[in-house]
Amino acid sequence: MSGALSGLLVADFSRVLAGPYCTMLLADLGAEVVKVERPGAGDDTRAWGPPYAGGEATYFLGVNRNKRSIALDLRADADLQVARALAARADVLVENFKPGTMDRLGLGHDALRELNPGLVYCSITGFGSGAGAALPGYDLIAQAVGGLMSVTGEPDGPGTKAGVALVDVITGLHAALGVMAALRHRDSTGEGQRIEVSLLSSLLSALTNHASAYAAAGVVPRAMGNRHPSIVPYEVFHAADRPIVIAAGNDRQFQALCAALDRPALARDPRYATNPGRVAARESLVADLDAALAERTADEWFDRLTAAGVPCGPINDLAAAFALAEDLGLEPSVELDGVGQVANPIRLSATPPAYHRPPPALGQDAAWVREILGR
């Protein structure tokens, strides 16, 4: 079965996470992705271990399946000419070099547009190509200066990063969406265009309600631990054996929660009748709910509250999270050449993602790439 993007050639000049995640999504959907890497070392994440699987760092394995690899020294004229030939043949180019680098190499958008007018050229930067061009595009830096750490962690803490390089992932998703939009435009007009996606802009967009609170009302949100600034109860509570999360997002769910806890009086308390009232009376309500939840285990409450229509769940580690996804029939993992991979989360009824090639060894597809380029 052909993928939705079959027939597209993607020249992938990116490394680490945001760019490779974007191009892996395109590859899963059928695009032919050629990953251009440094000779001898390759993508930085090839060395980011432990852990390893099959001799490769799992970091690299996680974002580079379904791709081909060629090692090119872009400082050497012969290799640079191969890179230019690849870009001239490609439908899409993705790069995340420091702004200005591709231009100096003769691989910038303006130069390549002369060779390939239909090229969709996607640049991923940390802080844009203008005044922020010199700033280092690391996820941790973006989480810090972009406000994410200020709303993550405990109220009196120093600020906490997310447990994964979330800004890189979000930026990769935005880049893939931009590529899709530009390809749709090219299908209509024959014209390519340049896409620029930055870590900072992607993060500000992804901060959604927090960013809107500032943009629309001038409110600067602060860290609240596991609490929600606008919804109560929507946080971590304490069952008899371990924590459980409850997210009662409306009055009906709150009433169902009180009934399932055998605390109907809480639903009748005028302080708790509406969500704004519950936000104002957060401390007393949380204490009342914790007292009720201490009577049963987290698993017992999960079954009981779920049956009552109350959104809730225990705090799982990744092993339990994968097990839950398996139990729900979501098929969260696949295996390629004996190495486990996280499945693409997009389900398409006619052209589903496919897993046909494990992450490549450095330079393993050089002969194939040179053949299609006549080099």
Q: Are residues 149 and 295 in the same domain?
A: no
In terms of DSSP bridges, do strands 32-37 and 67-71 run parallel, antiparallel, or are they unpaired?
Answer: parallel
Which one of 305, 323, 341 terminates a domain?
323
Q: What is the pLDDT along the chain (375 residues), one digit of tens a residue?
A: 589 999 999 999 999 999 999 999 999 999 999 999 999 999 999 999 999 998 999 999 999 999 999 999 999 999 999 999 999 999 999 999 999 999 999 999 999 999 999 999 999 999 999 999 999 999 999 999 999 999 999 998 889 999 999 999 999 999 999 999 999 999 999 999 999 999 999 999 999 999 999 999 999 999 999 999 999 999 999 999 999 999 999 999 999 999 999 999 999 999 999 999 999 999 999 999 999 999 999 999 999 999 999 999 999 999 999 999 999 999 999 999 888 999 999 999 999 999 999 999 999 999 999 999 997
Q: Are residues 171 and 305 in the same domain?
A: no
How many contiguous H segments (helices) and E segments (strands) does the chain have? 16, 13
State whether 153 and 44 are in the same domain: yes
Same domain, 316 and 340: no
Q: Are both 119 and 175 inside the same structural domain? A: yes
Residue 211 lies in a domain: no
Structure tokens at 125: 């930067």
Any idea what the CATH number is for the domain that residue 109 is in? 3.40.50.10540
Domain assignment present for 229: no
Is residue 42 a contact partner of residue 124, using CB atoms and an 8 Å limit? no
Alpha carbon distance 221, 30 (integer Å): 41
Res 157: pLDDT: 87
Instruction: Count how many domains the chain has.
Output: 2
Distance of alpha carbon 156 from alpha carbon 202, whole angstroms: 27
How far, in Å, CA of 133 to CA of 110, rounded? 18
Is the same domain home to 31 and 153?
Answer: yes
State yes or no: is 139 an active-site residue.
Answer: no
Residues 338 and 302 in one domain: no
- Tell whether 169 and 299 lie within a shared domain: no
Q: Which of 37, 114, 35 is nearest to 74 (CA)?
A: 37
- Domain check: are 140 and 52 in the same one? yes
The pLDDT assigned to 2 comes to 83
- In this structure, the answer to whether residues 15 and 101 fall within a common structural domain is yes
- Are 130 and 30 members of one domain? yes
**Residue 250 and residue 341 in one domain:** no
How much is the pLDDT for 1? 57
What's the domain range around 126? 9-206+332-372
DSSP helix/strand/coil, 125: strand
> In terms of C-beta density within 10 A (0-12 exposed, 13-18 middle, 19 or more buried), how is residue 87 classed?
buried
| Domain CATH for 288 | 3.30.1540.10
Look at residue 8 in the predicted model and tell me its pLDDT: 98
285 in a structural domain:
yes
Residue 94 contacts residue 22 (beta carbons within 8 Å): yes
Instruction: Tell me whether residue 23 is in a domain.
Output: yes
Asked whether residue 222 is assigned to any structural domain, the reply reads no
Is residue 4 assigned to a domain? no
- Residue from 168, 288, 299, 337 carrying the catalytic annotation: 168
Domain contains 268:
yes
Residue 135 DSSP class:
S
User: Dihedral (C-alpha) 223, 224, 225, 228: value to the nearest 10 degrees?
Assistant: -120
Specify if 216 maps to a domain.
no
